[in-house]
Structure 1
């Protein structure tokens, strides 16, 4: 049984497991929202100096991510998250080994950088625009003009493309689990796959040498040791990413073990009797009845989704609410 499980985990010698592949992708998707929380905190603490960073966060992260991924692709032939899990990008077929050793050719390096940095940036921008058009369509703000029909077509087209990409990713992972192909469609398009990276060589200089040279007045030697500080900063970024993953796991674990007690239901208001079997917002019979769990009132879906999206609260009790908490009811 153990041998069979090991075969499922690693299909070939040196081939990363599906856990490593999915874990490095999860790490890559965690860094951006984690840094966004830091930027939002700085903007709230120093609004005059850092307030502009919130509006330009996507562009700032694009620049940061470009520098970070370029460094790791240049020195380790892997992205930041792949290098964190000890992975390496190699050619898909053994007959096309790189002539430059543990380095990507220049054209593959540029293509990898574009897929790692530009593609997520464009995808996030397009997704936000499509989500805004989808909300307008659900709220009935899209008319019958040519522009509105084009927006509806874009919504359906994006949904089809998103489904096709998800299916392609599933097929790619299935083929990779069987020992063929690449773990992601992006790597497959570049004719690359992932392998376990060899151990890194330790730097001759370290931060202790820098401190010792500064304390003794040997500024020239300290400047020569500055690359060690860069390596130390990158190692700190890797451990910071690990801490983010640990806190994320701990937060999800704490939500299940330390759940707050269920609050008592709100007192019945006699004035709400006129809302019986009606939406409290439009005072009409329910259209797609939807309950807001924080208060227990039933609304029309369009009415309550529009209100919660704009005010983030229940229109009757004023309790904080989110659009993701809405529950559709199926009433006979």
Structure 2
């Protein structure tokens, strides 16, 4: 990265385009990682998390609002920017890098104001949320689907055309305009990236120039300030423990726990992204798990033979496939017992709950041993 860092200009603290694109990709991967984790836990606790998964965009925007607000106020950068050692500063009218280097420290005029933090939050959280909702609405309207696949009959088409309302016209207008607007937006951002790469502008995003904020690498003064804050927090906690006792220390720790949790996201979120990407690779068709699952040589091992019926068990007609041996009807919600025989779930559950054994082989069986079968 040292070679590419010098492409965009002569300033040592000016980040390269590759660093800025990398931090944006990290921010874009946070939403699918969070959604995957929520989906896994929602399968176990659907009563509490199913609504959260259904409103995932709103939940993600709310979480990222507090995360980005914390990092902007504490470190002057978003979460992904701080992860890559970048920060935001108020763009000075005249660059005075030599004077600032001679004096030392972080200039007060470069620190973000409250209005800068709120403006950054709008473009970091608000704009991605609106784009996600617009994309979801476009897909709900059938955007991107071949019209031939969803060709409606002439009578339905005439009825739809006859019912011309304002809402229908606006929906059709949105469906026609959205792809062009989204494409123009991406080309606009690409143009700024190219201009930043060739040092034609100091802002890699247009809204940074609107709010008067640019990107900069963190220097030694920034790292010293972060270490000083951490040292003061530890000293304050240790002194409070000595003066007020253990209960006061625990209370102070609970008060500061949200900040500790937000700071720990620097490790937790990248680890969750790595975990999601690892699962995608592991379950992909070209992963080693697929090759290890198959036998290296020879045909696969056949399943064990089904146990023979007991003389006192119910009779089985081997010619009537798809019929439940208990109710003598077609299988409904097919369920297999440990013996290998398949019954309706209701029939198998009632018989095992009452007798505790397989009705054909008379082998012991329990409710938790019932297995659903896809047929």
Q: Same fold (TM over 0.5)?
A: yes
Deviation at residue 129 of structure 1 after TM alignment: 0.7
Taking the TM superposition and a 5 Å limit, the aligned residue runs for 1:34-53 are 34-53=33-52
Taking the TM superposition and a 5 Å limit, the aligned residue runs for 1:217-232 are 218-226=246-254, 229-232=257-260
Q: Which of the numbers 128, 136, 139 marks the counterpart of 1:128?
A: 136
Contact map agreement 1:77 1:103 (CA 8 A) in 2: yes
User: In the TM superposition, what whole-angstrom CA distance separates every residue of 1:7-64 from its partner, at most 9, and x where no partner exists?
Assistant: 3266532011222111111111111221112222222111223332222332222221
Distance 1:127 1:260 in 2: 34
Pick closer, same or farther for the CA change 1:122–1:6 going to 2, 3 Å: closer
Contact map agreement 1:30 1:245 (CA 8 A) in 2: yes
In structure 1, the residue matched to 2:124 is 116
Contact map agreement 1:169 1:184 (CA 8 A) in 2: yes
In structure 2, the residue matched to 1:299 is none
Structure 2: 5+ residue stretches without partners: 97-105, 295-375
Distance 1:218 1:107 in 2: 40
TM value normalised by structure 2: 0.59
In structure 1, the residue matched to 2:227 is 201
Distance 1:3 1:70 in 2: 31
Deviation at residue 246 of structure 1 after TM alignment: 3.1
Taking the TM superposition and a 5 Å limit, the aligned residue runs for 1:85-234 are 85-95=84-94, 100-101=108-109, 103-135=111-143, 138=147, 139-140=150-151, 143-144=160-161, 145-146=164-165, 147-179=167-199, 180-197=201-218, 198-199=222-223, 200-202=226-228, 203-204=230-231, 205-206=233-234, 213=241, 218-226=246-254, 229-234=257-262
- Larger Rg computed on CA atoms: 2
Number of aligned positions between the proteins: 260
Distance 2:215 2:5 in 1: 18
Distance 2:127 2:5 in 1: 34
Deviation at residue 260 of structure 1 after TM alignment: 4.5
In structure 2, the residue matched to 1:242 is 270
Deviation at residue 115 of structure 1 after TM alignment: 1.4
Contact map agreement 1:39 1:54 (CA 8 A) in 2: yes
Distance 1:91 1:75 in 2: 15
Deviation at residue 239 of structure 1 after TM alignment: 0.8
Pick closer, same or farther for the CA change 1:113–1:259 going to 2, 3 Å: same
Deviation at residue 217 of structure 1 after TM alignment: 5.1
In structure 1, the residue matched to 2:372 is none
Deviation at residue 238 of structure 1 after TM alignment: 1.1
TM value normalised by structure 1: 0.66
Distance 2:69 2:181 in 1: 29
